[in-house]
Amino acid sequence: MNTNPPQNRGLTAIDGAMVLIVILLMVQIWLLSATLESYLAGHRDAAVPGAIISLILFGACFALYRFIDRVDSEVRKH
């Protein structure tokens, strides 16, 4: 039986989602710096995959944020 109160379970889920967002953001920061270095070195081919992957990572971050928002509003209703 899960004795953890709903308030704490919600917080655990939010903390997990936040850690995921932080990891995705770190990958995005690395991706931006690598794409910029590549562009400045004269390789313009990396710009398209860089932008697409960055967009996908942002989509994942946004989905996690929506998840946090939903958990937050559901838990605080009770």
List of residues contacting other proteins (CB under 8 A): 7, 10-11, 14-15, 17-18, 21-22, 24-25, 28-29, 31-32, 35-37, 39-44, 47-48, 50-51, 54-55, 57-58, 61-62, 64-65, 68-69, 72-73, 75-76
What's the min distance (Å) between Cβ of 4 and other proteins? 15
Cα–Cα dist 33/37, whole Å? 6
What's the min distance (Å) between Cβ of 3 and other proteins? 18
Geometric angle at alpha carbon 68, from 71 and 20, rounded to 5°: 135
Cα–Cα dist 15/19, whole Å? 6
